[in-house]
Structure 1
Amino acid sequence: MAAETLSNLDRSTLRERALHALRTAILAGQYQPGAHLGEVDLANRLGISRGTVREALRHLQQEGLLVPAARGMLQVHRLSPTEVRELYQVRAALESLAVVGVIASAGRPAAVTELRQALIRLDQTAGDFAAQVEADLGFHLLLCELSGNSMLVRTWRHLEGPIRVTVMSAGNEQRRLPMSAARHEPIVDAIERGDEAGALEVLHQHMALAGTQLATPVDQPDLPVSRPRPSTEQ
């Protein structure tokens, strides 16, 4: 019984490691939207069994990062222009709730201080795309966390994967402009004033512009593909 329990733990650990490696590769743009992921190839590259890879891929499909493709394979989800616009409409609704919560909170001054620090980090990442993506998402996640609504934060995090895939598949100018600190500062200014209507208006404009820009199809060369690191299966 003990040996069986340890075996199950080992399998679970390998599945989590494979899941983390594949999710990281997808969200970092190492596998572009539309790229096919095959069990045999991934199992060989990661040094684990096909069954373990299959479980990890199934989990990524549930997260919305992968979708069914031809010949029983899975591919990285390429959101349609309509899906991108809908994604940002949902973000606008969620983050509007966050704005309302922050403004109504007694801790609004401290929240504004944290948000301005996030703006500084966003400004400092200009020119480093990967860091800018992290700083941009960090700002919006912080906004949700400062609302004090744990369910809101959990729901926002569920959208993080599709958001990353959308940003990674957009053209350089399309994806950089919405992430600038200047585009976020008016949101913080309105929150500091306690101007709920103004903050919501700026936020909705920000999300509408980002959704429109990111939904515009572009032709861009494929990025070099970096493979997930191998794991040693016991």
Structure 2
Amino acid sequence: MADQKGALLGLQRTNLREQAVAALRTAITSGELRPRSALVETELSERLGISRGTLREAMRQLQQEGLVVSGARGRLSVRSLDQKEIRDIFAVRGALESLAASELAAQPDRDALVTELRDTLARMANAGTERLDDRIEADLDFHRALCRLTGNDTLVHSWTSLEGSIRMSIMYAGTERAVGNMDVARHSVIIDAIAAGDPGAARDAVVAHLNWAADNLIATAV
């Protein structure tokens, strides 16, 4: 296992826990570490070039994010989602993000908010030729900004607590389906509804967007 290449390479000796979290997160969401695969401390600490104590701290963070689960005798493995969990994740996302979109659309002075959302969408378009990791981050940046721009800290916290599960769900049906969910034109519909100052249309646009995304993932996952 030590000779495999990918996200799990030796790390710099600064901020090791944060680097380990980032490397493991990337390995999980990219499929380098497959769902249900066991996470063996000795192997991972060797591949990352860190102590087992630092690795355990990183693992605890990933458990909090919903990427890693504890099984029999406390053995850790990569979380595996089923279709119901995908539906549940997207339903909660829909509730949070549709609330965010309707609040933004109701703002009397929303030009700056719309401009920032269009900027995030431009970055998503530019990431279309980049690595999958970069495309995922650009997609998440858009949805995170949708919540952040409301100024509702509770809303942002609730969305952030789902971020690990969202990352897992993105790769549920493989790369091709994941990329399909990052279509710029479908995201643009949400911004257009916000720019028009129509809270109902903005809310509906988000719900339709996320329902389509969930269907896209589940339809081909057997």
Structure 1: 5+ residue runs without aligned partners? 1-12, 220-234
Shift of residue 74, structure 1, vs aligned partner: 1.2
Give, in whole Å, the separation in 1 of the partners of 2:26 and 2:133: 13
**Which residue pairs with 2:128 in the alignment?**
126
- Of 172, 195, 199, 1:196 maps to 199
Query: In the alignment, is residue 139 of structure 1 matched against residue 138 of structure 2?
Result: no
Query: In the alignment, is residue 161 of structure 1 matched against residue 164 of structure 2?
Result: yes
Note the alpha carbon deviations across 1:84-122, whole angstroms, 9 max, x for none: 111000001001121122122243111111112222222
- Of 80, 83, 89, 1:81 maps to 83
Give, in whole Å, the separation in 1 of the partners of 2:46 and 2:169: 29
**Which residue pairs with 2:39 in the alignment?**
37
Give, in whole Å, the separation in 2 of the partners of 1:49 and 1:18: 11
| Superposed CA RMSD | 2.3
Match of 2:168, SS state, is helix
TM normalised by structure 1 equals 0.78
Shift of residue 44, structure 1, vs aligned partner: 2.2
Note the alpha carbon deviations across 1:153-198, whole angstroms, 9 max, x for none: 1221221111112212323332222211111111111111111111
TM normalised by structure 2 equals 0.82
- What one-letter code is carried by the residue in structure 1 that aligns with 2:158? T
Query: In the alignment, is residue 173 of structure 1 matched against residue 176 of structure 2?
Result: yes
Match of 2:177, SS state, is helix
Contact (CA 8 Å) 1:18, 1:53: kept in 2 or not?
yes
Contact (CA 8 Å) 1:80, 1:215: kept in 2 or not?
no
Identify the structure with bigger relative contact order (alpha carbons < 8 Å, sequence gap 6+): 1
Match of 2:128, SS state, is coil
**Which residue pairs with 1:224 in the alignment?**
none
Sequence identity percentage: 47
Structure 2: 5+ residue runs without aligned partners? 1-14
- What one-letter code is carried by the residue in structure 1 that aligns with 2:200? A
Larger radius of gyration: 1
Contact (CA 8 Å) 1:111, 1:146: kept in 2 or not?
yes
Shift of residue 127, structure 1, vs aligned partner: 4.1
Contact (CA 8 Å) 1:81, 1:216: kept in 2 or not?
no
**Which residue pairs with 2:3 in the alignment?**
none
- Of 58, 75, 83, 1:56 maps to 58
**Which residue pairs with 1:183 in the alignment?**
186
Alignment length (residue pairs): 208
Q: Which runs of 4+ in 1 moved over 6 A?
A: none
Note the alpha carbon deviations across 1:122-171, whole angstroms, 9 max, x for none: 22233433332222111111111111112211221221111112212323
Give, in whole Å, the separation in 1 of the partners of 2:174 and 2:180: 11
